[in-house]
Amino acid sequence: MLSLLPAGQGQKTMQSSGHRFRDVEHHPLLAENDSYDSSSSEADMAERVWFIRDGCGMVCAIMTWLLVVYADFVVTFVMLLPSKDFWYSVINGVLFNCLAVLALSSHLRTMLTDPGAVPKGNATKEYMDNLQLKPGEVIYKCPKCCSIKPERAHHCSICKRCIRKMDHHCPWVNNCVGEKNQRFFVLFTMYIALISAHALILCGFQFFSCVRGQWTECSDFSPPVTVILMIFLCLEGFLFLTFTAVMFGTQIHSICNDETEIERLKSEKPTWERRLRWEGMKSVFGGQPSLLWINPFAGFRIRRLLLRAKKGGPEFSV
């Protein structure tokens, strides 16, 4: 038997979902004759490419790419290529560009990966029967996307879906950070922090060499242009390093404590079995510690992506 309790009785009956009485209305389930096939819906979601059509998010994502490309341009063409030290240019150029590729790849994986969206409109009697609920067990329906809300799921007003273990919605990756793409978001913040720190170090060496020698010889650009480009890169690197380092630390702390940012802000008491420290890390990154943890290409299949795009087309802000 399925129970949908009024708000006054919810906290007393099921403490594990007390927060849901604040952000979920208790509407009756969909009628039995409503046409919804949960199995086909979930299979259809798996065959689609995830992409959120949000104007602000798309602008922020494009800006992220442009800023990384700008940093790569300044590092490569202003600082490294004019350098007289061949191995200094090669080593730093390869390192910086590899980190940039890893950062942008992590950004793409975060943006184009389903964060853990709950199937839309699955609140049907047929779906309830398949859950094999115990008598008197209480579940909750999200009135915004008409879906049964699993434990630890929250509704995102931008993605217009309930997201499992939703941490937050990040406009810079134009997507929610949730159960299925948190790993890529952590890698994105880590690699952006690394290339920002690398760019700041290279800027320091470049200023030192230019001041010690001749400005006209340390760059192929004129001294005023060189100074302006490097100052802007220093500001960009400092801001990106500060922001992404803080985000990286916050994400690692959340993973090790098995607590999302939303749950922390709402001070929700954990009613689930927590996976602390290494268990939490292994649940997010998968398996035992290895180089695959820091590889954003792990599990990526171009053929499968092409088949998804061909079969179902992109899933735009569903």
Catalytic positions, written as ranges: 170
What is the spatial distance between Cα 115 and Cα 179, in angstroms, rounded to a whole number? 6
Residues 127, 124: Cα–Cα separation, whole Å? 5
- By the 10 Å C-beta count (0-12 exposed, 13-18 middle, 19+ buried), 297 is classed as exposed
**C-alpha–C-alpha distance, residues 263 and 68, integer Å:** 32
| Total residues found in the chain within this entry | 318
Query: What is the distance between the alpha carbons of residues 253 and 275, in angstroms, rounded to a whole number?
Result: 12
